[in-house]
Chains A and B, each alone.
Chain A
Amino acid sequence: MTNRRLLKYLLRDLPKGQRRWLFGGLLLALTTALSTLGLVAAAGWLITACALAGAAGGAVMTVEIFFPGALIRFFAVSRTVSRYLERLVVHEAVFRILGRLRQALFTQQMQRPFASLSGLRDGPLLTRLMVDVERLEHFHAGLLLPLSSFFTAVLLLALTAWIVSGATAAMVILLLGVGVLLLMIAFMVQHGRRDASLALAQARANTRLHDLLAAHRELQFADPSEQNLEQWLDQASSHRQEEKNLADGAARNDSRIQLLFSLGLVGLTLISTHSAHVQQQATALPWWVLVLLGLVALAGLATGLVPALRRWAMVRVAAHRLAPATRTSPSINSPMAAQGERHGPVAWQLEGVTLARGLSDRPVLDWVNLQLPAGERWSIVGDSGAGKSRLAALLVGALSPDGGRVLMDGEAMSHWPEAARFARVALLEQRSVILAGSLADNLRLGNPELDRDRMIRALQATGLSEAGLTPETRVGEMDRTLSGGEARRVALIRTVFCDTPTLILDEPFRGLDRGSIDKVSDWLVTETRGRGLILLDHRHHPALCPHGQLRLRNGGLERT
């Protein structure tokens, strides 16, 4: 992404619709900066004027103290108020921008190929996404506003100096501003890329650490001299060293800016001597002091600008990756189109299907031909590791076979859009994913119109009511965490309530004790009446699957 497009993204696309807030924040930041400057500068003017008038004995020169006094008090109040409002408005803007970004990002991720979604569960992809969002968060409040209000303040002080003390003073201040800009550019040229590559290296180190920690028990014996750990630790140290060097570089340039201002102050003082001397006017000096003290306050505004610049590299990386999400409009043209129409149960046909496993293992399915007529109910029985979950994924089109083809209602899988497939077949995954929220939120997931009575009946029938669960119970890590068996039942109820004509249930009784299995099984018999069913488990369930069982083993699906 070129710099121009990047800026366009950050300034136009990202805060779209919220630019009023951003602009308001900018105005307030500017007011704060100018009040800070004005407070000190006006005070400087006042006491110089008073001193000169006092020395002259009041007769030669009088100072009207009340207006400047009021002005100083006004600046004191406006600095406080605008700073407070600035922080509120900027936070408001950032929250709004982020809210929109999150939604857009979610929509974008949702449109990824189904098979790649598993990467979002816990892996590096998820971490990266969250880190990127966090980085963009800093751009407006941490970089845009301080920089723009500082340089505007430089211009305004230069303008004031020009009016009250002449062009030379204005030139000095402008030159100082240019000097600051040059120091910033120098820093960016020297360090800009290093921050980004460091962030990349750190992300890799993160993944590596994850792998090492996961394998810590194996490595106890496989790596007795702890070479992998030592290597990682050295790498982490060198990253920290590099980060320290970058921080040091930023601090150095920040200090150089302060030095520049101090020297500018000395120069300006010298010029003021000359000018005040030449003018021989007592009234000129207070204005000079106003400019000088303004400069002191301006130097205060410049602190921390260079360290803030370090964020730019990260913002760049994050923007680069997140930009596509925000460009697509957040309106969701989702795979929802096929909802509403009713379908009959699904029939499957497997034609010479091969599903590989690893590199040298016998395939899960080896040239399998099979008909599963519409509305029939079959058990598919297999040991753990036999490939049941992959077979289930194959049947809903979430996985493509390595050979042959799978037909759904006589048409190739690719013929059906995802929404159409999932509207016909609901799949209970092997994992029980519970969303943080109320139990009702979870149960309604596939069926927003689900009424409360039906939920309660299901909770009672599956024994979840006994555990104290109601539709209003809040579940999730922060509230009530569900046990494995409870989560399994919630996931199962949710899938059954999708009201699709066909169901595929992958180990629905996993983690349940004998008594619960019977209850859940009875409930399933009544709830799935008239629907097609494929139940994958370690054993056959004749009551649920009257058409029989297929055994998945040795690369085949045999009827037994």
Chain B
Amino acid sequence: MTPSLAAIRHDKDSRRQRREDGQWLDGQAAARPRLGIALLVGLDAVWLVSFFLLLAQILDHIAFARPELEDSRLLLGLGLLSGIALLRHALRVHIEQMSLTLGSETVDRLQRQATRNAMDPVCRRRLEESTASLVNRLQGDMDALLPWYREYWPARIQAVAQPLIILVVVFSLDWLAGLLLLFTAPLIPLFSALIGLGTASLAEERRQELERLGGHFLDRLRALSTLRLMRAGARAGMAVGQAAENYRRRSMEVLRVAFLSSAVLEFFSAVAIATVAIYIGLGLLDFIQFGPAPDLDFRAGLAILLLAPEYFQPLRRLAAGYHERAAALTAAARIRPLLQPSTGSHDARPDSTPTINGPIHLTVEQLSLSAGPDAESALIQGLDFQLPAGEWLAITGPSGSGKSTLAAAVLGWQQPLSGRILLDGQSLDEIPLAVRRQRLAWLGQQPHLLPASLAANLDPGGEHGVAEHWRVLHRVGLADLPDLLPRGLQSKLGERGAGISGGEAQRIALARALLGRPGLLILDEPTASLDPDNEALILQALREQAGDCSILMFTHSRAAAEAADRCLVLRDGSLRDD
């Protein structure tokens, strides 16, 4: 029931933010279908009004003309009524289909764009967000946008068009009744706003407490193994129940006020219908002698009565969709940062990728780097070094000296403040992304294996043959791994690479990096979480590889630094010989 609470917290700033998010959401959808939906919704309202006018006409005919069953006017009227009903059915289905398509297409486009960005290391460095929370944004939040286009957009049009048309009709029938409807409608937002003001301050006070209580269950569930170790499980269980109880009590205090604003809507619509009915009754009995009342007839009276509930219905529908609307706005605010394109990383893929092979000569000239994409001050200043083709260079240095940042810059994941990075004499930003992706490779501290077969893990792009798979497995000393697995190269590695040790996973990841015969291999702490056996195996594999490709390795490990051809120390923003 969290959405009901999410719907009612807003102060001035967040209201402005919401309005902006709402406009943004509207702007994402294509204009033409939106216009089409608006027109059809208006048309539907016209047919709805016609239906009730005709029904009133027929009942009037029955009451005063006392027609026979075979009366042609009666049958014609009823036939028309059925026709309108069929027409409205077709129209409704069509509107629904259009708005469903509008929602799906818009969200699909947003999801594609956001997911591409989320897979882009440049954007990810800017976002600095956990994978789990990104998944929520890309799936849950995207789905939360759907009702905005599917329900809220048509409902908004209906809430304008239908009352307006009904108002015109009712005025033409009896202006006093029209006046009554006209005045009740604006009172609704007024009173709701008054109540809303009370709720907003109440909710703001309680918001934190409610969020805390609401998150308690999840928090304790995640800590379950610790709770068990501390023998605190039973107590935590009681506390979960207690927190849920408090959450209920606090929430109900807020909801008691929050529901009042929809009760106002309910109250005015019900009272308006009742008042209109009694007014018409008295008018028909000629008890009212002023205004249009003496001229009121049964047909007009009945029509007004039938239309009165429909006058308020769209407003009620809009109010009922308030939670979905609030959820969509919240989701929009969370999604928008994901859609900002990163500069320069999305250049077009060239049709043909050059087939240059061999090790790359890396030159770094006067390079200055900030600690992160948003940081201002320079972490590294005026850095110069060369990595001759085929050399294996290790760079060590204390934590925070900027090793990972330098690695990111060489990979093109972070823009330098100044200076140049050259690959074989060509500036990094002039090399198309596709070529960079082909010629460079990267391996980090934590290998990420996919829950797929060993072959699919070695070659996620599916671009290389089995012989190549065996070649890289040999290179990392895992040639006998397929024999230990039930189905060889096709064996599924399972969730998070289960069954395989961290060291083996890292060697598979290294094999994967070597598969595309990169010209420059960049390693960021490749052996930091490995046991000595596996570290030795990795270093041995790198020794064999050096020469075929250039290796730039950032490491803490003594053994790794000694295994390289050359070792430099990064300290206070500059490189020195070890």
Contact = CB atoms under 8 A, between A and B. Distances in A.
B256 interface: yes
A515 B274 CA distance: 79
B68 A220 contact: no
A320 interface: no
A43 B241 contact: no
5 contacts: A43-B273, A77-B267, A117-B225, A269-B58, A476-B212
Nearest to A236: B111
Q: Find the residue from B138, B223, B247, B451 having the highest chain A CB count within 10 A.
A: B223
Interface stretch (A368-376, A381-389, A407-415, A522-530): A381-389
Interface string A101-115: 011001101100010
A151 to B, nearest CB: 21
Contacts of B488: none
B336 interface: no
A136 B240 CA distance: 18
A80 B118 contact: no
A426 B229 CA distance: 7
B144 interface: no
Most buried by A among B228, B441, B442, B463: B228
Contacts of B309: 40, 297, 300
A334 B237 contact: yes
Interface in A452-506: 476, 478, 494-495, 498
A222 B461 contact: yes
Interface size class on chain B is: 35 or more
A217 B451 CA distance: 17
Contact of B247 (A92, A99, A336, A435): A99
Given A98-B1, A227-B460, A274-B69, 15 more contacts: A48-B63, A51-B297, A54-B284, A77-B267, A91-B255, A99-B244, A102-B240, A218-B460, A221-B437, A228-B460, A228-B461, A251-B92, A289-B59, A332-B238, A418-B228
A383 B248 contact: no
Interface stretch (A9-17, A122-130, A160-168, A174-182): A122-130
B504 interface: yes
Nearest to B74: A273
Contact of A76 (B247, B252, B271): B271
B363 interface: no
A102 to B, nearest CB: 5
B500 interface: yes
A202 B100 contact: no
Q: How large is the interface on A (under 10, 10 to 19, 20 to 34, 35 or more residues)?
A: 35 or more
B223 A50 contact: no
Contacts of B463: 224-225
Nearest to B501: A358
B228 A117 contact: yes
A95 B248 contact: yes
A98 B62 CA distance: 54
Contacts of A58: 285-286
Contact of A360 (B276, B302, B481, B516): B481
A122 B134 CA distance: 13
A383 B516 CA distance: 32
Interface string B151-167: 00000000000000000
A100 to B, nearest CB: 7
A191 interface: no
A51 B62 contact: no
A339 interface: yes
B51 interface: yes
B501 A361 contact: yes
A114 B225 contact: yes
B459 interface: yes
Interface stretch (A252-260, A309-317, A341-349): A252-260
A533 B282 CA distance: 93
B208 A478 contact: yes
B132 interface: yes
B259 A88 contact: yes
A443 to B, nearest CB: 11
Nearest to B533: A362
A28 to B, nearest CB: 13
A266 B67 CA distance: 16
Max chain B Cβ within 10 angstroms of own Cβ: one of A55, A95, A265, A446: A95
